[in-house]
A and B are shown apart, each in its own frame.
Chain A
Amino acid sequence: MKNHMPVMLLCAAVVALQLAFTLSGVGYYLTQLTMAAWYSLVVLGLCMLMGYAGQISLGHAAFFAIGGYTSALLTTINLMPFENSGPVAVGRTVGLVLHMVDPYGRQLLYINPWLALAVAVAVSALVALVIGTPVLKLRGHYLAMATLGFGVIIFHVILGTRGLGEADGISSVPPFVLFPGVTISGSRSVRVLNYYIAWAAVVGALLLLLNLVDSRIGRALRAIHGNEEAASAMGVDTARLKLTMFVVSAVMAAVGGACLTHFNGGIGPSEAGVMKSVRYVAIVAVGGMSNLWGALLFGVLLNFLSLRGYFGLYDDAVFGAILAAVMMFAPRGFLTVRLPGGIGKFLGRRGGRGPS
């Protein structure tokens, strides 16, 4: 990165928010900001897919859910009955199977969340590959409808599968010990720590994507946006790049889903719902499509307000209305609408180089 300034400012803002909330006695706001941060991983990946690869997905909540459910399912299987079997014993010695005592005093043996996360990433990447290969040949509303259909299918599969808890979802998901002393958990004692874990993940993901935008691949993506025919005549494999971005965005959504599931201690089918997918698309659109900073800003702001309950019963309606309003009044996002003092220009500077 040639220009570290915006990322440094983001880090400063993260610290400032934590201090402000903690010192003013509303430390519990950090919980929603932590959740909003994990959701931001979906938003950032989707921004890359929509804004740079130019492909819409109305099914990204499905990838979030695939990540969350895979992680939840694997870490809630109690391996105690198989304690003395070979694989479990070996798993324990190499640290892939962990031991814990639950609040009711039961002895639990469960799969290390790191391993579960790796499986979640692999599953989401595989599903993205299998779905993306045929579906990304479609364009415009056909692609939107196909991804919407995929999302609906995943939602109903989850809702109808007993092993995934049907409408109840999966609960009692154990905390995720990243390193000794650094644990993803919703417990109050680690609230501030978890806020920083989530934001470190967001900053990391943002850096990776900003680097990507500035790389050979990012340039090729912008070229596809600028003129697809000429891009392929210059040697850009347009189909493959779109698929790659689909997989990258799916993996980011899955990581967000898995981590938030450990934070919340569970996951329910609403995470896979169509309105969740619409929400992610609305956030990317309002941030200006090919503007990672805009997507992050609006993603955190809107998710925070939503999680705090400011939209009440109209939660989904608010996001639907935002999407409609953006399309009608500011199809290039609100950050390109003239803001005083060049705020929009500043925000759009690094991520916003994509074509209109």
Chain B
Amino acid sequence: MALLEVRSLERSFGGLRAVGGVSFDAAEGLITAVIGPNGAGKTTLFNCITGTIHPDRGAVSFNGASVFRLPPHRIAARGISRTYQNLKLFTGMSVLENVMVGRHARSRSGTLAGMLRLPGARREERAVREESMRCLELLGIAHLAGADAVSLSFGQQRSVEFARALACGPKLLLLDEPAAGLNIHETAAVARLIQSIRGRGVTVLLVEHDMSLVMDISDHIVVLSNGQVIAQGGPRAIQKNPDVVRVYLGDDHA
């Protein structure tokens, strides 16, 4: 049984079938990539898995239990975390605070405990702070902890998002175009980072346009076109698959 199992997932916007019956698995401990041309439905698929939008039909099971149509915070509590293609950091908060919010699902102090600064809440707060600092160190941006998150460069903000997503200790990490807008060196660093995340036992599901990155690090690739899976398999098989070549390069090349 795979860690994440998506079955016949559908989601339409008006007359447009953004995701039209998608099925695939993300096996535990591996890097699975979802690729496809613009508008293939990749981000919608991500949003359906994380609960940001409601799928119309289908099934999503994670770790053996259904997460279909659960609200996003409950899906996060199950151990699914994500980053965004267009960064969504918390404005008006420091880098460290952004990452500490990432730990929300793994802490529990409530309103009264916070108001009264109960010893348990203070202890938990210290632990959250330490864990968040460790995530920043892992990303090599511990020195930016006190900086206003949205004042950073694009690449640094992306690192903050990574740290925030890792802070909750996810079993599955969804990365929406982690290399978008990065130069070759930064992309290589992201590739190393994703591999080291996998090395820590985290399963990775990745949407990415940078083909060399995808082919380098992925264990399994799912190709979407017009909301449908047109191929899946290992990087070599995908590179040779005539349907995939046709979708990306047009009929002449097939």
Contacts and interface: CB of A to CB of B under 8 A. Distances in A.
Given A216-B124, A236-B101, A238-B73, A226 B115 contact: no
B91 A227 contact: yes
B72 A220 contact: no
Interface in A231-276: 231-238, 244, 248
Contact of B107 (A216, A229, A238, A356): A216
Interface string B75-104: 011000110100011111100011011101
A354 interface: yes
A297 B70 CA distance: 43
B158 interface: no
Given A227-B88, A232-B73, A235-B168, A216 B104 contact: yes
Given A216-B107, A233-B82, A235-B105, A226 B77 contact: no
A53 B118 CA distance: 22
Interface string B105-134: 111011101111100010011001000000
Contacts of B242: none
A233 B111 contact: no
Nearest to B105: A235
A234 B124 contact: no
A353 B91 CA distance: 11
B109 A215 contact: yes
A223 B101 contact: yes
Interface string A202-243: 000000110110111111101101110111111111100000
Contact of A211 (B71, B77, B115, B168): B115
Contact of B93 (A209, A226, A235): A226
Interface in A289-341: none
A233 B116 CA distance: 28
Given A216-B128, A355-B91, A233 B52 contact: yes
B92 A226 contact: yes
B32 interface: no
A285 to B, nearest CB: 18
Interface of A: 1, 208-209, 211-212, 214-220, 222-223, 225-227, 229-238, 244, 248, 353-356
27 contacts: A211-B116, A212-B115, A215-B115, A215-B117, A216-B124, A216-B125, A219-B104, A220-B101, A222-B92, A223-B93, A223-B98, A225-B90, A226-B93, A227-B89, A227-B90, A227-B91, A230-B90, A231-B90, A232-B71, A233-B50, A233-B73, A234-B101, A234-B104, A234-B105, A234-B168, A235-B76, A236-B101
